Amino acid sequence: MRTRLGYFEGGASGIGFETARVLALRNAHVIIAGRNMKAANEAKQLILKDNKTARLDALKLDLASLKSVKAFANNFIALKLPLNILINNAGIMFCPYQLSEDGIEMQFATNHLGHFYLTNLLLDIMKETARSTGIEGRIINLTSVAHLHTYDEGIQFDKMNEETSYLDKKAYGQSKLANILHANEVSRRLQAEGANITVNSVHPGLITTNLYRHSSLFISMH
């Protein structure tokens, strides 16, 4: 039986860690990408503790930095591995106003632009893997029902980086709406060219993870 190679981004904690753990149990080769390499390597060791045959690697990736995204993609490509599964999971939520190193509002930069750029950089490898193996590729964007609660005009392209109009929860919704629009358009284009890859957006529900570090919501949940 051919073993799929799974690539999982944002796997050092929360939903990402659990997904990486289960993918490893299913005999996928998992790449855990993380901004904090100490946390990523600790996650790797924790999975290996219970699953000694797991195939895991950890690579540096800061989604808020387009330079880091490019470096990660180059490092992954250099490994010459196939790529069947891309899970765009990592993100931040309800954070105070700040700009990324590229001068983009941080939630939009991290939650959307980083994933958008990474997906584009790795798409050719996914197409080739699907073609050569005959195994359907999967791209999954972790989004949120919060996409329904963004700015009245939708995505504020003309005011993206204005601090005076920034609302943390609406900015988060804006980034999640962008995730869905991205998935829909990539899916449309792949179908049009006959690529054997599906693209889906997933709302995982409300779970108390580190994502809520900027919010007082749900802190009493058990």
- Residue 162: which of 92, 110, 104, 214 has the closest Cα? 104
Residue 202, beta-bridge partner list: 142
- Count other Cβ atoms within 10 Å, centred on residue 64: 23
Beta bridge partners of 142: 202
Element spanning 141, H or E: strand 137-142
- Which residue, chain included where needed, has tokens 């990324």? 100
Is 166 an active-site residue?
Answer: yes
In the sheet that holds 29-34, the strands lie side by side as: 55-60, 29-34, 5-9, 85-88, 137-142, 197-202
70-73's contacts with Cβ under 8 Å and 24+ in sequence apart are: 70/117, 70/121, 72/33, 72/118, 73/118, 73/121, 73/122
3-class state of residue 138 by DSSP: strand
Q: Out of 117, 151, 166, 212, pick the active-site residue.
A: 166
Residues with catalytic function: 166
